[in-house]
Amino acid sequence: MGLSARSTAADTKRLKAVDFFCGAGGMSYGLTKAGIHVLAGIDNARDCEKTYLANVPGAEYIRRSVEWLSAPELGRLLKLKKDDPRLLFSGCSPCQFWSKIRTDRTRSARTSQLLSHFRKFIRYFRPGFVVVENVPGLFRKKNESILGEFLEFLKSLDYVYADGLVNANNYGVPQNRIRYLLVATRLSATVSLPEKDEDLGLIVRKFIGVHNGFPKINAGHIDPTDRRHTASALSEANLRRIELTAHSGGTRIAWSKDAELQISAYRERDNIFRDVYGRMSWDKPSPTITTRFHSLSNGRFGHPEENRAISIREGATLQTFPPEYRFVAPNLSSVARQIGNAVPPEMARRIGLHLSRCYPYG
């Protein structure tokens, strides 16, 4: 058998994916590393397009809102067939509305219904597999969110599913990152979530720091290379605050009695929002990398010992983006948003491997 014949035979057993709400490509990249052929990512975010195309070779970026993209049109664009057992649809929609992070509820209300738009593509194509990764609030508020209706919809199309809350730290990611995960298929009578590993020992010390190739930098340092080991500048007051904060896990309690440094909102309220202005601990997983991880005042995002917030590349590393992953965006906030919104690539890779093993015709 010639090489081309072998490749054709292998390709008939290979899953192929369309990544809805793809963002900067964390899910797509992880699926490709699991051997899945990613056909395209779909997102209406203009600032993610160049990042996605720079890192997910062979995949298209369809910059459209799923609200206005029709299923037949998508079929024509990607030459998709209905009822293809090898087809995987990933729908990791942004759902700030169900997140516990404070946000503009009016502006995020539209995101609460994105799963309903995802349904039309599932109904039309009936892919072999469906994956959803989202904020835990979607699951915890199942009766209020669109999730309950979405699950009934899957059952009506003869899908079986497994779902629940998982910690990305059990799937190769050095974060305590709690997410809702759903895996569904119409190819078998049962399906499970990927098996978790509770003994990986994934802590901050193993991923960032000088010993991992991150040279010491000051707040406000700008890395002119694609690596983006860049740290946000700090005001004089914030610089004094972090200087007083104990290394490896220190909190704002260290300066709470200083009248000049204490934040008015926290005066005599040291028990609320304890992570804000805190440092990460070397010997624990990092907190969830959010879209504002580059800001000292938005969580426990202080470097374990250097007097600054973690850098853009350090945040990407804690999200398991590899060193060569290139983020293309006009400013720090845009890059941080791309990173914080992403499905961690290593978690996505493990999901992809699990689904490939579940494929009954391989």
Residues with active-site annotation: 95
d(CA 314, CA 340): 12
Written as six digits, the tokens of 98 are: 């169900």
Give the pair of three-digit tokens for residue 29.
Answer: 């990249």
Cβ count near 8 (within 10 Å)? 11
HEC readout, 270-319 = CCCCCCCCCECCCCCCECCCCCCCCCHHHCCCECCCCCCECCHHHHHHHC
- Buried b / exposed e along 216-228 (16+ C-beta atoms within 10 A): ebebeeeeeeebb
Q: Give the C-alpha distances (Å, rounded to integers) separating 67 from 20, 34, 35, 95, 104.
A: 12, 29, 30, 15, 21
**Which residue's structure tokens are 């290593």?**
346
Q: Considering only CA atoms, which of 292, 298, 345 is closest in space to residue 318? A: 345
Residue 212 near residue 247 (C-beta atoms within 8 A): no
User: Would you say 259 and 283 are in contact if contact means Cβ atoms under 8 Å apart?
Assistant: no
d(CA 172, CA 320): 8
**DSSP-derived secondary structure for 109-128:** GGGGGHHHHHHHHHHHH--S
